[in-house]
């Protein structure tokens, strides 16, 4: 009888401790314990030219995410931008915004454009693209982050392009601050320039290049 009482006295605190720990774990969803929510939901798009489809039809919505962990899970399971075939694009935009000029969120906006020589595809392209994605999803443009719609990387035969799209080209202070932060964030060489083009000008361009309203 005494032996039984001794066992109960020793084991009871351990049982109570385990029950308390179990109740604490049950109070929180495992996902809330390990995942870090983003301020916005972001959508990855992929474009691959297809002669049997229109440009818009060839834009494929891949998936959306709203946590830092889900971003990395996605990024680590897709091809790097530098591995895409010539003519293909990646686009990442806030959910509900399509990667096209005609979308209501984009039609009054423009883009900061970075041109990269094809030789930079193996040295700079992927680093620039990743840094821009992290800056966007982390609201790295500070108080102007809400003016950013998304970003696009174009893989082309001679010159690859990365562009950050803003929603309103008339907000000059915002546009310029975003441009300066972009150039700083990717550590773009000071001697090289990035240009801001208004979407409407790009759509109506008469030559091979649309005019730029800002260059930094």
Q: What is the mean pLDDT of the chain?
A: 87
Confidence category of residue 33, pLDDT binned at 50, 70, 90: low
What is the average per-residue pLDDT within 40-46? 98
The pLDDT of residue 34: 80
Tell me the CA distances in angstroms from 136 to 56, 97, 130, 165, one per residue in order. Answer: 24, 14, 10, 11
Tens-digit pLDDT profile for residues 3-20: 334 334 444 344 344 444
Given a cut of 60, is residue 25 above it in pLDDT?
Answer: no
| CATH topology (fold) of 33-215 | RNA Cap, Translation Initiation Factor Eif4e (3.30.760)
Using DSSP bridges, classify how beta strands 214-215 and 195-198 pair: parallel, antiparallel or unpaired.
antiparallel
d(CA 59, CA 150): 15
Percent of the chain with pLDDT over 90: 77
The answer to whether the beta carbons of residues 182 and 174 sit under 8 Å apart is no
201: nearest Cα among 128, 116, 97, 113: 113
- What is the model's pTM? 0.83
d(CA 22, CA 125): 48
Given a cut of 50, is residue 23 above it in pLDDT?
Answer: no
Given a cut of 70, is residue 176 above it in pLDDT?
Answer: yes
Given a cut of 60, is residue 208 above it in pLDDT?
Answer: no
User: Sign of the C-alpha dihedral, residues 162, 164, 170, 175?
Assistant: negative
């Amino acid at each position: 009888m005494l032996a039984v009482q001794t066992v109960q006295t020793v084991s009871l605190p351990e049982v109570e401790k385990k029950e308390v720990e179990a109740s604490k774990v049950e109070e929180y969803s495992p996902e809330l314990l390990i995942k870090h929510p983003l301020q916005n939901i972001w959508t990855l798009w992929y474009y691959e030219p297809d002669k049997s489809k229109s440009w818009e039809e060839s834009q494929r919505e891949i998936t959306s995410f709203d946590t830092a962990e889900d971003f990395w899970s996605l990024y680590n399971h897709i091809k790097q931008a530098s591995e895409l075939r010539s003519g293909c694009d990646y686009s990442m935009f806030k959910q509900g915004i399509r990667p096209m000029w005609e979308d209501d969120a984009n039609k009054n906006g423009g883009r900061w454009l970075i041109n990269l020589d094809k030789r930079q595809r193996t040295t700079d392209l992927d680093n620039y693209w990743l840094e821009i994605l992290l800056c966007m999803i982390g609201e790295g443009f500070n108080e102007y982050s809400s003016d950013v719609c998304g970003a696009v990387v174009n893989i082309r035969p001679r010159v690859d392009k990365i562009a950050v799209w803003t929603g309103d080209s008339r907000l000059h202070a915002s546009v310029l601050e975003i441009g300066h932060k972009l150039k700083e964030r990717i550590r773009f060489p000071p001697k090289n320039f990035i240009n801001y083009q208004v979407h409407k000008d790009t759509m109506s361009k008469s030559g091979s290049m649309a005019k730029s309203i800002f260059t930094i």
